[in-house]
Chain A
Amino acid sequence: MTLMKTILGATATLALSAGAVLADPAIVFDLGGKFDKSFNEAAYNGAERWASETGGSYDEFELSADAQREQVLRRFAEGGNNPIVMAGFSFASALETVAADFPDTKFVIIDMVVDAPNVRSIVFDEHTGSYLVGVMAAMASESGTVSFVGGMDIPLISKFACGYAQGVKDTNPDANVIVNMTGTTPSAWNDPVKGSELTRGQISQGSDVVFAAAGGTGLGVLQTAKDEGILAIGVDSNQNHLQPGSVLTSMVKRVDNAVYESFTAGEGVEPGFAAMGLANEGVGPAFDDSNAPLVTDEMKAAVEEAKAKIIAGDIVVHDYMSDESCPSL
């Protein structure tokens, strides 16, 4: 009994003192897991960069089920973590309830807008970044047919597809863009076999550049592109190194920057809405050693030109999510 009391007492003291000292930031990764070579990994890299530069520490959690979203947000908020960053649009509904209960805690949600006085919503202009890789795809394609493999059929993924198609058609008006979605359930993010099969289907229809915005399914797309000798375009993180020599570029979303900046701002993170676009290097194609042999100087010049025009407003890239339609497809 006494032993029990001591243990309980010790735990309570620990919990209390931890609550007082701890104002570390926290990050929650979405279901893909933090080493998905894609979205979550980018978020993780941002957090790690902050930790190594400032010497600070942060708490993290990888979801393994949908039901944990609200639970983990509450646990971090009660534990005194501030700010709490969550990577993924799926946190929106959980955050709406939790944010109201912890008005003194700052939350940052990436890829979604949640309107609350203590929430910062960071969204990316995926359509403009996709436009630029579309320009590259059109220039790299010899057959005049390029394609797109999406993960789950949701508006966000159509936003990628639509920007990509516009970039392709503005560069080569005669080009043909094939768009396939993997499925309509969350399993569509983790079906590399189907991703591979869709890619083969697109190849048989003439495609020689394929852009995958499909999470784990995209790994199958990149693999098949390599096996069949065509070019692929990765997404979210820089995926150029996954299959060197066959990944033309990656449409990078600087999720790492979003996380890094939120962690750096700490408790003073500003609530409201923030867009990461071309102007602030939030999105864009990735260039590194792995894809250097595939990228020509003309491509780089064309990308720079299109980028400048988009920033200046001379090219308006259609945002699928604004009206749920795509004029380029």
Chain B
Amino acid sequence: MDFMTLIAIFDSTLRYATPLLLACLAGLYSERAGVVDIGLEGKMLGAAFVTGGVAYVTGSIWLGLLAGTAASIALSLIHGVASITYHGDQLISGVAINFLAAGLSIVIASAWFGLGGRTPSLPPEARFQNINLPLADTLQNVPILGPIYSELISGHTILVYVALLAVPVTWAVLFRTRFGLRLRAAGENPGAVDTAGVSVVRLRYYAILIAGLLCGLAGAYLADFAANFVKDMTAGRGFIALAALIFAKWRPWQAMGTCLLFGFLSAAAPYLENKSFMGIEVASQFIDALPYILTVIILAGFVGKAIPPRAGGQPYVKEQ
């Protein structure tokens, strides 16, 4: 395995990790505020569909992104109304979001484009362009660092950089602002927040709105990457993101680490297929299953303890 192959794997890792990271951070906001969000998958799917459709019709990926994000936020609000305002079960309403998005996207796409639940291919001008960072071409020939800069760090679409930037921003918002403190408190001890005269309901709505926004970006990334929407194209990424969230123990930097790790596993798997190391052949199925296996190990408490926000999953009912 030579150096350029490694670069290619890490490059691929970044692309695999981007939608996971965006969805994982979405889950982080939501769950830190005490709203369990199993509907990440559905929101991503809804956003991917609307992005694909609108970007094709308008010829602009930016309008697609805007519409996709709006769709994702709308799904978030359904979740919010059911589980925050009306104290419904958060898991059930999340599952409902997943079914709703999976069904609606196919039905609307069929009626809209008549392609059997698919949107037409986006022409190159209706997709995000790769961003070449300054000096990428000049530095290309510098040994080691050149390829790392020009191949790995430069040359991605804007959403990859947005996802990476969202990590420090999330950390700062959650751990360095008053809003973040209150948001976390709403997930740990909503009674105390209420006593302090801050509305738990409003905080939780803010959290799911941010989650909707981030899921929207993740969905738009998928639709842009594949250049069209294909039914069920999220292919379980929302659930992997949830697994990553648990693995990261609900912390932003660790979430990035975990998503990069899971992305790396996906990226490296095809290179390992049909090859053996030290006489051991690694089955690609095993690598596909590894994120789930690792999450189960973490949840079982073998490697540290994953303690979710204490008030997670409980609707907050004000004392009368």
**Chain A positions near chain B (C-beta within 8 angstroms):** 32-37, 40-41, 62, 64, 153, 179-181, 183-185, 187-188, 190-194, 196-198, 200-202, 204-205, 216, 219-220, 223, 227, 242, 329
Closest to B273 in A: A180
Closest to B117 in A: A33
Closest to B289 in A: A184
Number of A-B contacts (CB under 8 A): 99
**Which of A33, A184, A191, A200 is B116 in contact with, Cβ under 8 Å?**
A33
B130 → A minimal CB distance (Å): 10
- Which stretch, B81-89, B203-211, B229-237, B243-251, touches the partner chain A? B229-237
A182 → B minimal CB distance (Å): 9
Query: Other CB < 8 Å A-B pairs besides A183-B288, A204-B5, 19 of them?
Result: A33-B117, A34-B116, A183-B235, A187-B232, A187-B236, A191-B233, A192-B228, A192-B233, A193-B226, A197-B16, A198-B270, A200-B8, A201-B12, A205-B5, A219-B228, A219-B230, A223-B121, A223-B228, A329-B274
Q: Are A204 and B267 in contact (CB under 8 A)?
A: no
With known contacts A35-B118, A184-B285, A190–B232 Cβ distance under 8 A? yes
Q: Are B285 and A201 in contact (CB under 8 A)?
A: no
Q: Which of B257-303 contact A (CB under 8 A)?
A: 266-267, 270-271, 273-274, 284-285, 288
Determine whether B114 belongs to the interface, using a CB cutoff of 8 Å to chain A: yes
Q: Which residues of B contact A198 (CB under 8 A)?
A: 270
Determine whether B214 belongs to the interface, using a CB cutoff of 8 Å to chain A: no
In Å, the complex CA distance between A242 and B225 comes to 17
Determine whether B15 belongs to the interface, using a CB cutoff of 8 Å to chain A: yes
In Å, the complex CA distance between A20 and B197 comes to 73
Q: List 9 A-B contacts (CB under 8 A).
A: A35-B116, A36-B116, A180-B273, A184-B285, A190-B232, A191-B233, A193-B19, A219-B121, A223-B121
**Which of B5, B235, B267 is A190 in contact with, Cβ under 8 Å?**
B235
Closest to B284 in A: A181
Q: Which residues of A contact B114 (CB under 8 A)?
A: 35
B2 → A minimal CB distance (Å): 10
In Å, the complex CA distance between A99 and B12 comes to 48
With known contacts A190-B232, A192-B230, A200–B274 Cβ distance under 8 A? no
Determine whether B115 belongs to the interface, using a CB cutoff of 8 Å to chain A: yes
In Å, the complex CA distance between A119 and B229 comes to 37
Closest to A186 in B: B232
Determine whether B33 belongs to the interface, using a CB cutoff of 8 Å to chain A: no
Q: Are B266 and A201 in contact (CB under 8 A)?
A: no
Q: Are A35 and B226 in contact (CB under 8 A)?
A: no
A230 → B minimal CB distance (Å): 15
B9 → A minimal CB distance (Å): 8
Closest to B224 in A: A193
**Chain B positions near chain A (C-beta within 8 angstroms):** 4-5, 8-9, 12, 15-16, 19, 103, 106, 110, 114-118, 121, 124, 222, 225-228, 230-233, 235-236, 266-267, 270-271, 273-274, 284-285, 288
Q: Which residues of B contact A216 (CB under 8 A)?
A: 118, 230-231, 233
Q: Which residues of A contact B103 (CB under 8 A)?
A: 64
Q: Which residues of A contact B266 (CB under 8 A)?
A: 194, 197
B238 → A minimal CB distance (Å): 12
With known contacts A191-B233, A201-B270, A196–B226 Cβ distance under 8 A? yes
Q: Are A193 and B5 in contact (CB under 8 A)?
A: no
Q: Which residues of B contact A187 (CB under 8 A)?
A: 232, 235-236
Q: Are B230 and A190 in contact (CB under 8 A)?
A: yes
With known contacts A192-B226, A194-B266, A219-B226, A179–B274 Cβ distance under 8 A? yes
Q: Which residues of A contact B8 (CB under 8 A)?
A: 200-201, 204
A186 → B minimal CB distance (Å): 9
B199 → A minimal CB distance (Å): 39
Interface centre among B15, B116, B273, B274 (most CB of A within 10 A): B116
Q: Are B285 and A153 in contact (CB under 8 A)?
A: yes
Q: Which 5 A-B pairs have the closest CB atoms?
A: A35-B116, A33-B116, A204-B8, A192-B226, A191-B235
Q: Which residues of A contact B117 (CB under 8 A)?
A: 33, 35
Q: Which residues of B contact A184 (CB under 8 A)?
A: 285, 288
Interface centre among B4, B222, B288 (most CB of A within 10 A): B288
Q: Which residues of B contact A201 (CB under 8 A)?
A: 8-9, 12, 267, 270-271
Q: Which residues of B contact A205 (CB under 8 A)?
A: 5, 271
In Å, the complex CA distance between A198 and B285 comes to 15
In Å, the complex CA distance between A16 and B285 comes to 52
Q: Which residues of A contact B267 (CB under 8 A)?
A: 197, 201
A202 → B minimal CB distance (Å): 7
In Å, the complex CA distance between A216 and B285 comes to 20
With known contacts A184-B285, A197-B266, A200-B12, A223–B116 Cβ distance under 8 A? no
Q: Which residues of B contact A193 (CB under 8 A)?
A: 19, 222, 225-226, 233, 235
In Å, the complex CA distance between A219 and B230 comes to 9
B220 → A minimal CB distance (Å): 12
Interface centre among B118, B230, B274 (most CB of A within 10 A): B230
Closest to B19 in A: A193
Q: Are B225 and A190 in contact (CB under 8 A)?
A: no
B173 → A minimal CB distance (Å): 29
A146 → B minimal CB distance (Å): 15
Q: Are A64 and B106 in contact (CB under 8 A)?
A: yes
Q: Are B15 and A197 in contact (CB under 8 A)?
A: yes
Closest to A182 in B: B235
Q: Which residues of B contact A188 (CB under 8 A)?
A: 235
**Which of B227, B231, B285 is A33 in contact with, Cβ under 8 Å?**
B231
Q: Which residues of B contact A40 (CB under 8 A)?
A: 116
